Structure 1
Amino acid sequence: MTQTFEKYFVPEPSKYPIFGSIALLLFGSGAAMWLNGFKAGPWAFFLGIAVLVFMLFGWFGQVVHESEGGKYGRKVDRSFRWSMGWFIFSEVMFFAAFFGALFYARVLSVPWLATGDTVELLWQGFAGGWPTAGPDKPDPFTPMTAWGIPALNTLILLSSGATLTWAHHGLRHDKRSQLKLGLLVTILLGVLFLSLQIYEYRHAYAELNLRLDTGIYGSTFYLLTGFHGMHVTVGAIMLTVMLGRALAGHFTPDSHFGFEAAAWYWHFVDVVWLLLFVVVYLL
């Protein structure tokens, strides 16, 4: 009996990694020069972004053409799934570091600074507790409450996860209109989430005196919510690309990993927000 083996597609050597390296060099050095007042800083920074966008369009476009050309089999699909899984795991660890910093500040550092010898020697009169900007007598501020925009944004993100799942069901059952409508609604909900978060930031700065330099509370608040907002932005861009591909007739009920990868990422962003809402806003 003759055993057949599925061929594994190996692409030709790509020019795009060198463009990615140049983009990161320009982006990082430009940001450093910009922060230190060099006139060339902004030019290098935005040139790095332009090169990075060129690389992303070119490289991902090449992968899309190869996929639509039928060059990928089950083994390539499996390697893509493992790659996306490890990428999301790296994102989990990324946020775990920031949640760990918040835990360390709230549970260990702040209570320690308010105890016995420490408070007498270093910060007399510091009572601890949370939220706090720290013991250095900063300007008073009002902490962000959970009810209002944060709770509304939680409902919006949960709804976006439901609409994306609805779109996925439409794709699996070859209902193209359901796929397109579900993706469009999900993207609009993501944009609404970001718009409300921008409004929340303006409100925090203008009326609550809650700023990035408001001690440990301000820095951890903006660190966690800001990076999450960046991930929502990336996720919305990914879903917009998936909508464009759906409109172009890409994806079939049996072959649509590009869509699944974007959906995995969006659901990850949803889960992180739920944890963030509880830890940052509620507790």
Structure 2
Amino acid sequence: MESTHQEQTHYYVPAPSRWPMVGAVALFFLGLGAAFAVNGKFPGAILLGVGTLILVGMLFGWFGDVIRESLHGSYHGKEDSSFRWGMGWFIFSEVMFFAAFFGALFYVRVISVPTLGDLDYKLLYPDFTASWPLSTGPGITARYGAMEAAGLPLLNTLILLSSGVTVTVAHWGLLRERRGQLVGGLAATVLLGAGFLVLQAVEYRHALTELNLSLGSGAYGMTFYMLTGFHGMHVLLGTLMLSVITIRAARGHFGPTRHFAFEAVAWYWHFVDVVWLLLFVFVYWI
């Protein structure tokens, strides 16, 4: 009874960590490097590389400490609850992040473009056509083509939907103590995520070289790359997290009752899937 009481009331507090300061240094180099790079100054690329290396080192070191603390049994019920709340709020912040971008797309398509097509603006923009995607208007210097839903976008949709199934199969394997099913499902999810990224790179190359679609292609080009590009970054992050979880699962780190790290990554991956479905509908299809 004494041990149970201790587990319910004790909350592990780690020693002061150097990793937040290391992260701040990494962000400083990244911000300074970005400022130099966008202005075409020499140290920009070097500073960005240094900042990236420091950031990667921080991630490996910080999460490595957390993993070791978990394996040593430092975490009990209360810490698990804090981790869940933390991941929940993180995903909520990501929801609001994409909500802002979808809101920008909604504003342009439903409010801005129809308004500029009214008779009141004909004197200012006589050649403007209120259609989507935009083909005329201020700032559009070259014609471009819109990305169709069929083809690579549809294939990537099927890939991400399949990855949601494989990560769920892996979860079932974990709960039923089937290590092979767990590792196999995770490995399949990593491969599907990598395949999505490769096909998105091919899609971007097609858009730039054959459709002449760039960030300078008016509101359509900006919203297309803004939404799909940031989603691609999230897929990359999710694939990296899944790779780490796959390695840990192969080493036997998770059990049927203690596997929050797996759950957190699975939550994140399902969130990425849902965002892509919204992207496919509102950016590619409609």
TM-score range with shorter-chain normalisation?
over 0.9
Task: Give 1:226's aligned residue.
Answer: 229
Q: Deviations over 1:116-166 (max 9, x none)?
A: 11122x100312111115512531111111011111110000000000000
Structure 2 equivalent of residue 245 of structure 1 = 248
Q: Kindly provide the amino acid, as one letter, of the partner of residue 34 in structure 2.
A: A
Q: Which moved more, 1:49-58 or 1:131-140?
A: 131-140
CA contact 1:133–1:216 (8 Å) conserved in 2: no
Preserved contact between residue 127 and residue 136 of structure 2 (Cα < 8 Å):
no
- The partner residue of 1:185 within 184, 188, 195 is 188
1:139 aligns with 2:142: yes
Provide the secondary structure at the position in 2 that maps to 1:108. helix
Alignment of 1:148-163 (within 5 A): 148-163=151-166
Q: Give 3-state SS (helix, strand or coil) of 2:9's partner.
A: coil
Structure 2 counterpart of 1:88, one-letter code: I
Can you give the 5+ residue segments of structure 2 that lack an aligned partner in the other structure? none
More displaced, 3-12 or 201-210?
3-12
Q: Deviations over 1:234-254 (max 9, x none)?
A: 000000000110111101110
> Is 1:64 aligned with 2:72?
no
Amino acid in the other structure paired with 1:26: F
**Is the counterpart of residue 175 in structure 1 residue 178 in structure 2?**
yes
Aligned match of 1:28 in 28, 31, 38? 31
TM-score normalised over the length of structure 2? 0.96
The aligned residue for residue 165 of structure 1 is: 168
CA contact (8 A) 1:172 1:253 kept: yes
Structure 2 distance, partners of 1:280, 1:108, is 16
SS in structure 1 at match of 2:163: helix
Deviations 1:56-110 (A, max 9, x none): 0000000000001111001000000000000000000000111011111101111
More moved, 132-141 vs 263-272: 132-141
Percent identity, please: 57
**Structure 2 residue 13 is matched with structure 1 residue 14:** no
User: Within 2, Cα distance between the matches of 1:183 and 1:79?
Assistant: 25
Tell me the alpha carbon deviations over residues 18-76 of structure 1, each in whole angstroms, 9 at most, x when there is no partner. 00000000001111111112211111111011110111000000000000111100100
- Report what 1:108 is aligned to: 111
**Larger CA deviation: 130-139 vs 40-49:** 130-139
> Which residue of structure 2 lines up, in the alignment, with residue 124 of structure 1?
126
> Relative to 1, partners in 2 of residues 1:268 and 1:184: Cα closer, same or farther, differing over 3 Å?
same
Preserved CA contact (<8 Å) 2:190 2:239: yes
**Using a 3 Å threshold, how does the CA distance of structure 1 residues 223 and 81 change in structure 2: closer, same or farther?**
same
3-state DSSP class of the match of 1:205? Answer: helix
Q: Which residue of 1 aligns with 2:95?
A: 92
Alpha-carbon distance change, 40 to 135 in structure 1, aligned in 2, over 3 angstroms: same
* Aligned position for 1:79: 82
Distance 2:283 2:215 in 1: 15
Secondary structure of 1:17's partner?
A: helix
> Counterpart of 1:71 in 2: which secondary structure?
coil
Structure 1 runs not aligned, ≥5 long: none
Task: Kindly report the root-mean-square deviation, in angstroms, between the aligned alpha carbons of the 2 structures.
Answer: 1.4
**Amino acid of the residue matched to residue 268 of structure 1?**
F
- Whether contact under 8 Å (2:149, 2:284) holds in the other structure is yes
1:175-211 alpha-carbon deviations (Å, 9 max, x no partner): 0000000000000001111111110111111111111
Q: Distance in 2 between matches of 1:266 and 1:161?
A: 7
Q: Kindly indicate whether the alpha-carbon contact (under 8 Å) linking 1:32 and 1:41 is maintained by their aligned counterparts in 2.
A: yes
1:186-205 equivalences in 2 (<5 Å): 186-205=189-208
